[in-house]
Structure 1
Amino acid sequence: MNADPVVASQEVTRIQHTSRSMRRAIAIGSVTMVLIGLMLLFLLTQATNNRELYESNYNVLFVINVVVASLLAAAIAWVSYRLFVRLRQGRFGSRLLLKLATIFALVGVMPGLLIYVVSYQFVSRSIETWFDVKVEGALEAGLSLGRVTLDTLTVDLAVKSKAAANLISENPESAAGVLAERMMDQLGATDITIWSGAGNLVASVGQSKFQLSPDKPTTSQFRTARQQRSLAWVEGLDDAVTGSLSSARIKALVPISGSGLGLNADTRYMLVSRALPQGLVSNALAVEAANREYQERALGREGLKRMYIGTLTLSLFLAVFGAVLLAVVLGNQIARPLLLLTEGVSQVAAGDLTPKLALQGRDELGGLTRAFASMTQQLADARQAVEVSMSQVDAARANLQTILDNLTSGVIVLDQSGHIKSSNPGASRILKRELAPHTGERLATLSGLEAFGTGAQRQFEELAAGQGDRGADHWQQSFELGTGNATGYGPFEGSITLVARGAELPSELRLLVFDDISEIVSAQRAQAWGEVARRLAHEIKNPLTPIQLSAERLEMKLSGKLENPEQAILVKSVKTIVDQVDAMKRLVNEFRDYARLPAAELKPLQINALIKDVMHLYDPEVAKVPIELELDEACPLVMGDAQQIRQVIHNLLQNAQDACTSASTPRETPRTVTLRTQWMAASKRVRMSVLDEGDGFPESILKRAFEPYVTTKARGTGLGLAVVKKISDEHGARIDLGNRQKDGAVLGAQVSLSLTVAPGAPV
C-alpha cells in the first residue's frame, strides 16, 4: 500500500525546497568567490603598473588571492570527494555525472593551460628584451648628452660673464648698474646682481631688482669664484623634477677687479643668472628618470619576472578552479534531470508510485521531469483507485463468503467435468463430510455421493443440451441418499432427502445449491400419519366392539355343551380374540390420541414442580428402572401446557426405562435413568434432559426417530417420540436427541427439550 498522498506531497515539496536552497547557496558562493578573485586579480594588475602601489600592497593582494584560490580548491576537493563516494557506493548516475564533470573541466582547463604556456613564454622573453645592451647604451648616451649640453652652457655663461666683468672693471663704479643692464641681452641673462666683497648688494638688474632679498651667493661660492676667477653652476633642477621647469637656470659668479690703485681696493662680484630652455630641461629630466628606472628594474629583473609570472599563475589557478567548479556545477545541472528521470523510472519499475521530484526549469529536461512526475502521480491515483476497487471487491467477496459460510443451504461450485472447485460449510454439514480436502476431485467419485454427483452431472448436461424445461436457465431435482440400507448409506445417518438446484456460471463453471428437506419430509409424513391415524381410528374402532361381544357371546352359548377338549379350545380361542381386540383398541386409541392432540395452552409453569408431581407415579419400589433427579433450582418459570409437558415426561421416562431393560450389554451395577433440568443463561432457556444407560439409538434411527411408526421396540408403535416432537413444536421448543459416548463406547441415549422462559420471569 502506498503512503498518504498528502504526506508524500509535503515531503516532495520539502525536498524540492531544500534542493533549491542548496543549489542557490552553492551558486551564490561560487559567483561570490569568482567575483572576489577577479576583483583581486584586477587590483593586482593595477598594482603591477604602479610600482609604489605594487610594493606596498602586493603581498596583501597576493595572500587574499591565494585564500580565494584555496577556497575554490577546497570546494573542488569537496565536490570531487562526493563524486568519489557516490562512485564507490555504486549510486546510479555517478559515472554519468563524473563523465560530464570531466568533459566540462577539460574544456575549461585545456584552453587555460595553453594560454598560460604562451603567456609565460611571452612574459619571460618580453622582460628579457627590456634589458638589452642597446637600450642601456642609448640611455647612457642620452644622459651624457644632457650633461655635456649643460656643461657647455655653463662654461659659455662663465666665459661671457668674465668678459663682462672685465668691461665693468674698466669703468667707474657708478656706471656698473648701467653697464650690467646693457649686457643682459648679450649674455642672455634673466638677472644680474653685483655684490661687494662683504656680501652687500651693490646693483641689480632684471628680476632681482623687484625682489626685497635677492638670492645671495654663499661665502664658499664667493671664495671659490675669487680663487678660480669664475664659478658656474646649474640650479633648480630638483624643482623641475616636481613640475616647475622655469626654475631651472645656470648661474655664473665672477670677480670684478677694482679700478683704484690702492691696496685697499674692494673686490666686487657679478652674479649672472640665465634660464635653461624648458625643452632641454624636460628631455634631460626624462632621460635621467628613464635611466634611473631602467637601472632600478635591471637590478630587480628576476623579482619583476617572478611578479609577472606569479600574477599569471595565480590568474591561471583562479581560472582553472573556477572552470572546474563551474564544470561540476553545470555537469550536475545537466545530469540532475536525467538522474531524476532514471531514478524515478527505477522506482516505478519497483512498484513505488510515490510523488517524484520535478525540476522547475523552463528547458526541455525540466519539462520532461514534470511530465514524468505528472505521469507517476496519475499512475499512483489510478493504482489507488484500483486498490480501492480491489478492497471493495475483497469486501464484497468477504461478505459473499460470510453469507455462503452462514447459509444453511449447501453450495458447491463445479467445473464442466464435475470437479469440485469450492464449497461452503453448509455443504459439508448437510453431506456430513468435509469437502474442502476434496477440492479438485470429482463429486461423483466421493464415497457415498456417487449417485448425487452422477445425477447432478446428468442434470447439468441436459441443461446445457437444452433438454430441460424450455427457456429455463436452471434445473431442480430431489435426491434420496442412503435409502435401501437399514444401517445407513456411506457417511449418512440413515437416509436424507435433498432438493438440489443447478445453474451455469461464467468461466464455464456450474453452481450446485441443495438443502436437506428430511425434516420437512418427516413433518409431511407425520401429518400423513396423523390423517391415517384419524381414519384408522374411525374405521377400525367400530368393528372391534362387535367382534369382542360376538366372541364372548359365542363362549357363553357354547360353554358346558362341549366336551372338555373342545371346551378348552373354545376358551382359548375366545381369550385370544378378546386379547387381540383389546390390543387393537389400544393401538387405535394411540392413533386417535396422536391425530387429535389438542392445541397447547401455554402458561407460566414451574418445570421442577411439575417433574416432582409426575415422579409420584414412579415410586422407586415399583419402578422398573430407578429414576434419579438432578434439578437446577435456578430454573425460572417457562411457558408450557402442563398436561402436554406431563405427557412428554411420561413418554421420555417410559422410553428410557424400556431402553435400560432391553439393553443387550451386561452390567455389574443396576442401570438408572436420570431426569435433569438446567438453566441456560446464555440462550435464556431451560433445558430438560432424560438420560438412560441403554444401548443408545442405532445410526439408522437417529434421522427418523421422530417419525410415526419408527421404533426399535419389538412391539412398539413408534408414536412416543412422534408425540413428543409434535408437543415440542406446539411449544416452540427445541428438541435434540443423540447418544452419549465415552472413549468410543456408547453410554446410552439422551433426549433434551429446551423451553422458553416466561415473559417477566425473574432470571
Structure 2
Amino acid sequence: MQLRSLQARLSGLLMLASLSGAAVYAGITQWPLPELLSWLRHDPRLGAHLPTLPGISGGLLASLLVLLPLALWLGALVMAPIRRLLRALEGAVASYRDGDFSFSISADRRDELGELIRMHNALGQTLREQRQHLVQRELLLDTVVQHTPVSLVLANTQGRVAYANIAARHLFNEGRSLNGLDFGELLLNVPEALRRAVESGEDVLLSVPMDGAEETFHLSQRLFRLQGRPHKLYSFRRMTRELSRQEVATWKRVIRVISHELNNSLAPISSLAHSGAELARRGDMARLPGVFATIGERARHLHGFIAGYASFAKLPTPQPQAIDWQAFLDSLALHCRFRLVGTVPDDPGWFDKAQIEQVLINLIKNAHEAGGAEDGVTLSLAQVGHDWRIEVADRGPGMSETVLAQALLPFYSTKRAGTGLGLALAREITEAHGGRITLANREDGGLRVSLLLPAKS
C-alpha cells in the first residue's frame, strides 16, 4: 500500500487555489467576460445599460471575493483530519496520565497522519504489555515478600506503617494488619531489647525472650525514597535455628580438631610409654632419657594446644588506655621484625596494650611465614576519621577468594599444624575493642591485614 503524502495533498490544494484565482482574474479581464460585454454592446437596447470593463484592481478584487471562501473551505478540508487527530491525542495523553493504556485511535489513512496514528497505537500496545508484565512482577514480589519468614515493616517519616508482611503482622500485632498504625506505639508491646535496638538506628544481632524461650534476631534498618518520599525499612530476621545449626557445626569442628590433635599426641605418648616400660624391664637405662624427653615434648605441645583454646574461650574484657605510639612500637619491635611505613602519629592511641600487641605479633608472624621477602613485612599507622588504622602487609602469594572468605572463622587453617585460632583471636580482640579487621590481597602482590580501632572520643 503506497502512502499518499500529506505535503503532496497540501501542494495540490494550493495549486488548485492558485489556478482558480488565475482563472477568475483572466475570465474577468481577458476572456470570456470582455468578449461577452463587447458583443452585448452591439445591441442598442442593452448597450447603454452595460457596465464598463473592470480594470486590474477590479479584477483582483473580484478574484479575492471568489478565492476567500474557496480558501476557507480548502483550509477547513485540510485541517479537519488534523483537528480530529489532535483531539484523539489529547484524550490518549489524558488516559496515559491516569494510568489507562487501553486507549487507541482508529483511522484508515495512508499519509503521515496515518503513520503517526499507527505509531501511537503501537506505543499504547507496548505500554499495555509493560504494565501487564509489571503487575505480574509486582504480584510475584508481593507473594514472595508476604510469605518470607523475615518480618518486614515499611514506615514513613511520621512513623506510620505503610507496608508490613505476614511475619511482621504476627510479630507485632497478633496477625492483624499494621497499615496506618504508629510503629512507635507497636514497639511498646515488644520486649525492651527489641525496642532499644530499633531506636538505636543500627544493624544489630540481639536476643529477646519470647513465648517462654529466647529468640535471636538480626535487625537491619535502611533509609530509601519511595514515590519521591523518604521511608525506612525494618527487617527482623529470626536467627535462632540458623545460629543453633552453626553452633552445632562449630562444636563438631572443635571436637574433630581436638580429637585429631589429642590422637596425634597421645598415640606417640602411649607408644613411648610402652617402649620405656620394655626398656626398663630389660635394664636398658641408657635409652630411657630420650624416651622421657620425647614424651615431655609431646606433652608440652599438647599443653600449648589446649592453652591456645583456653585463651580464645577466656578472652578478658579489654581495658583501653592512652597509648604512646612510639613506645608501643619500640615494645613491639622486641618481639618481632617489621619495617615501619610512614610517620609515627603524635596523638595517642586508645586500646588494651597487651591484647593489641598480641594481635600484631601474630599478624607479623603470619606475614613472615607467608614466604615473601623479610623486609617486605611492613606496618603502617594512620588516623581515618574517628578510627586508628593499623595495617600489616607482606609480599607473599596472598590468599585465594575462598580462603579470604573463611580465614577469620575459628578453627579454619590452611597450615598442616595450624589450629585456626590466630586470625579468629585477632578478630575477637579487635571487635571487643569496638573495631573490625579486614583482609585483602594487594594489587602488586601480597596480603594486607587492616585493624580499625576507635580513637578515644
TM-score, reference length from structure 1? 0.33
Residue in 2 aligned with 1:677? 381
Matches within 5 A, 1:52-67: none
Deviation at 1:723, TM superposition (A): 1.0
1:124 aligns with 2:42: yes
Distance between the aligned counterparts of 2:377 and 2:23, measured in 1? 109
Residue in 2 aligned with 1:325? 64
Would the alpha carbon gap of residues 103 and 611 (structure 1) be closer, same or farther in structure 2, given more than 3 Å must change?
same
Name which of 582, 586, 591 aligns with 2:304.
Answer: 586
Distance between the aligned counterparts of 1:687 and 1:650, measured in 2? 16
Would the alpha carbon gap of residues 532 and 329 (structure 1) be closer, same or farther in structure 2, given more than 3 Å must change?
same
Deviation at 1:375, TM superposition (A): 4.1
Q: Secondary structure of the equivalent of 2:447? A: strand
1:710 aligns with 2:406: no
Amino acid at match of 2:91: Q
Residue in 2 aligned with 1:627? 338
Distance between the aligned counterparts of 2:244 and 2:396, measured in 1? 29
Deviation at 1:523, TM superposition (A): 7.5
Matches within 5 A, 1:25-174: 92-99=9-16, 117=35, 119-126=37-44
Residue in 2 aligned with 1:31? none
Name which of 720, 728, 731 aligns with 2:430.
Answer: 728
Amino acid at match of 2:423: L
Residue in 1 aligned with 2:454? 756
Deviation at 1:591, TM superposition (A): 1.4
Q: Secondary structure of the equivalent of 1:312? A: coil
- Contact 1:680–1:687 under 8 Å retained in 2: yes
Would the alpha carbon gap of residues 758 and 118 (structure 1) be closer, same or farther in structure 2, given more than 3 Å must change?
same
Distance between the aligned counterparts of 2:438 and 2:307, measured in 1? 27
Distance between the aligned counterparts of 1:562 and 1:568, measured in 2? 11
Q: Secondary structure of the equivalent of 1:716? A: coil
Q: Structure 1: where are the runs of 5+ without partners?
A: 1-88, 130-304, 354-373, 401-516, 619-625
- Name the count of aligned residue pairs: 309
- Contact 2:20–2:67 under 8 Å retained in 1: no
Deviation at 1:632, TM superposition (A): 3.8
Residue in 1 aligned with 2:316? 598
- Contact 1:733–1:754 under 8 Å retained in 2: yes
Deviation at 1:329, TM superposition (A): 0.8
Q: Secondary structure of the equivalent of 2:76? A: helix
Residue in 1 aligned with 2:75? 336
Residue in 1 aligned with 2:353? 642
Q: Secondary structure of the equivalent of 2:391? A: strand
Would the alpha carbon gap of residues 636 and 338 (structure 1) be closer, same or farther in structure 2, given more than 3 Å must change?
farther
State the percentage of identical aligned residues. Answer: 23
Deviation at 1:584, TM superposition (A): 1.1
1:652 aligns with 2:346: no
Deviation at 1:735, TM superposition (A): 1.6
Matches within 5 A, 1:530-609: 532=255, 563=283, 566-603=284-321, 605-607=323-325, 609=327
Amino acid at match of 1:691: A
Distance between the aligned counterparts of 1:719 and 1:312, measured in 2? 125
Would the alpha carbon gap of residues 316 and 125 (structure 1) be closer, same or farther in structure 2, given more than 3 Å must change?
farther
Distance between the aligned counterparts of 1:697 and 1:647, measured in 2? 22
Per-residue displacement from partner, 1:230-289 (whole Å, max 9, x unpaired)? xxxxxxxxxxxxxxxxxxxxxxxxxxxxxxxxxxxxxxxxxxxxxxxxxxxxxxxxxxxx
Q: Between Structure 1 and Structure 2, whose CA radius of gyration is higher?
A: 1
Would the alpha carbon gap of residues 523 and 640 (structure 1) be closer, same or farther in structure 2, given more than 3 Å must change?
farther
Q: Structure 2: where are the runs of 5+ without partners?
A: 1-5, 102-123, 138-238
Per-residue displacement from partner, 1:152-204 (whole Å, max 9, x unpaired)? xxxxxxxxxxxxxxxxxxxxxxxxxxxxxxxxxxxxxxxxxxxxxxxxxxxxx
Amino acid at match of 2:361: H
Name which of 417, 439, 443 aligns with 1:737.
Answer: 439
Amino acid at match of 2:90: Q
Per-residue displacement from partner, 1:700-719 (whole Å, max 9, x unpaired)? 53332223443344433232
Per-residue displacement from partner, 1:685-737 (whole Å, max 9, x unpaired)? 32211223444446653332223443344433232112112222222322222
Distance between the aligned counterparts of 1:675 and 1:120, measured in 2? 121
Matches within 5 A, 1:195-344: 312-315=51-54, 321-344=60-83
- Contact 1:605–1:638 under 8 Å retained in 2: yes
Q: Secondary structure of the equivalent of 1:703? A: helix
Deviation at 1:328, TM superposition (A): 0.8
Distance between the aligned counterparts of 2:13 and 2:76, measured in 1? 12
Deviation at 1:589, TM superposition (A): 1.0
Per-residue displacement from partner, 1:269-318 (whole Å, max 9, x unpaired)? xxxxxxxxxxxxxxxxxxxxxxxxxxxxxxxxxxxx9xx69x73335877
Distance between the aligned counterparts of 2:42 and 2:407, measured in 1? 128
Amino acid at match of 1:727: I
- Contact 1:116–1:312 under 8 Å retained in 2: no
More relative contact order, 1 or 2 (CA 8 Å, 6+ apart): 1
Q: Secondary structure of the equivalent of 1:721? A: helix
- Contact 1:608–1:677 under 8 Å retained in 2: no
Would the alpha carbon gap of residues 649 and 522 (structure 1) be closer, same or farther in structure 2, given more than 3 Å must change?
farther
Deviation at 1:342, TM superposition (A): 4.4
- Contact 1:109–1:323 under 8 Å retained in 2: no
Distance between the aligned counterparts of 1:343 and 1:525, measured in 2? 77
- Contact 1:686–1:755 under 8 Å retained in 2: yes
- Contact 1:533–1:595 under 8 Å retained in 2: no
Deviation at 1:648, TM superposition (A): 0.5
Distance between the aligned counterparts of 2:351 and 2:92, measured in 1? 68
Deviation at 1:333, TM superposition (A): 1.6
Name which of 524, 528, 531 aligns with 2:251.
Answer: 528
Would the alpha carbon gap of residues 692 and 116 (structure 1) be closer, same or farther in structure 2, given more than 3 Å must change?
closer
- Contact 1:705–1:711 under 8 Å retained in 2: yes
